[in-house]
Amino acid sequence: MKLRVSVGSAIALGLMKGSMKVEPGITYLMLPGICDAKCSYCTWGKEDYLSRVRWPEFDVELLEGVKNYCLQTVEKKGLERELEAVLGALGSKGDVAISYLTPERAEILEKNNVRQVGIGLDACTAELYKKHKPGLSWEKALDSFNYGFDFACHIILGLGESDEDFLRLTQSMKDKNVKLALFAYTPVRGKKPVGYISLRRYRALQLASYLIEKEKASIEDFEFEKGKLAVMPPFFDERAFLTRGCENCNRPFYNERAGTEPYNFPEGCFESYDLMQEVKEYLDSDNDS
């Protein structure tokens, strides 16, 4: 049985040779095969790349006993059977990222002592979900949070949502005790762009959502102009700009090339950037340019 491993994780495990500017905080694994969901922004299936990360295949026997891992699933026929086999072969507790849960999927995860579950909601509204993820169900994804797991909700900013859409979703997830795992939509070569988000808008939404998650503010404390964030409580904490989601997940250079300003900082290397200035510039602007 084969399993895909992110190239950074493969280097960290000694399965490949190479150097890294930032090591992955956990081991990133993925089921083999092509996903049937065909999400508009996804690059999977094009030369073994998902976003900017290559995922070579290895025998699952080489990964037995790997601790602190996140297993990315792909929506395909036989997913449940393969998921159960892989989790059993790995033989240790880990995290699983999946589009949605069913009673069968939840039973498999519970039986294999999965620690945290990341639900790939990605879009902030039902309309955007239908547009970008036509092969999947918004209702099934939201219903997944009713199961008894420690959850993270994966959101991709830049798919056409308003600031208000995102922050209201943030509040609803906070009310359910669900963490946010934030991604920025960034086009990759060879794939037609389907969205856009500037760094300064992303910074403002990172900070605003952090305020809600840490109970420093609620949705009523923000002001919007035609859906755009215009006023937010005065607050700054550099931790708002770190990669957010499941414990120890840092996703280095998933959204951006090494050497550019990261959307999500994998570690506390903020010295070269005036992050609060980026937030202020966005709040004072009329658009996301």
* pLDDT tens, residue by residue, 89-113: 998 889 999 999 999 999 999 999 9
Output the pLDDT for position 257: 73
Q: CB-based contacts of 72: which residues, under 8 Å, 6+ apart? A: 28, 29, 30, 31, 50, 97
Per-residue pLDDT, averaged over 39-68, amounts to 86
pLDDT confidence of residue 129: 98
pLDDT number for residue 64: 86
Task: Work out the end-to-end distance of the chain between its first and last CA atoms, rounded to an integer number of angstroms.
Answer: 47
pLDDT digits (tens, 9 = 90+) for 212-256: 999 999 999 999 999 999 999 999 999 999 999 888 898 877 777
Predicted local confidence at residue 47, as pLDDT:
64
Q: How far is CA 256 from CA 9, 140, 253, 282, 288, in A?
A: 17, 31, 5, 20, 18
CB-based contact 18:219 (threshold 8 Å) = no
pLDDT by residue (tens digit) across 109-168? 999 999 999 999 999 999 999 999 999 999 999 999 999 999 999 999 999 999 999 999
Q: What digits encode the pLDDT tens for the residues 34-53?
A: 899 989 998 876 668 888 88
Nearest to 67 by CA among 123, 115, 6, 121: 115
Q: Give Dmax over CA atoms of the chain in angstroms.
A: 55
| pLDDT (mean) for 13-33 | 92
- Predicted TM-score (pTM) of the model is 0.95
Distance of CA 238 to the CA centre of its chain: 19
CATH number for the domain running over 2-284: 3.20.20
Q: Check residue 116 and report its DSSP letter.
A: E
Provide the 10 A C-beta neighbour count for residue 214: 13
Backbone angles phi, psi at 49, to 5 degrees: -110, 135
Strands 49-50 and 27-30: unpaired
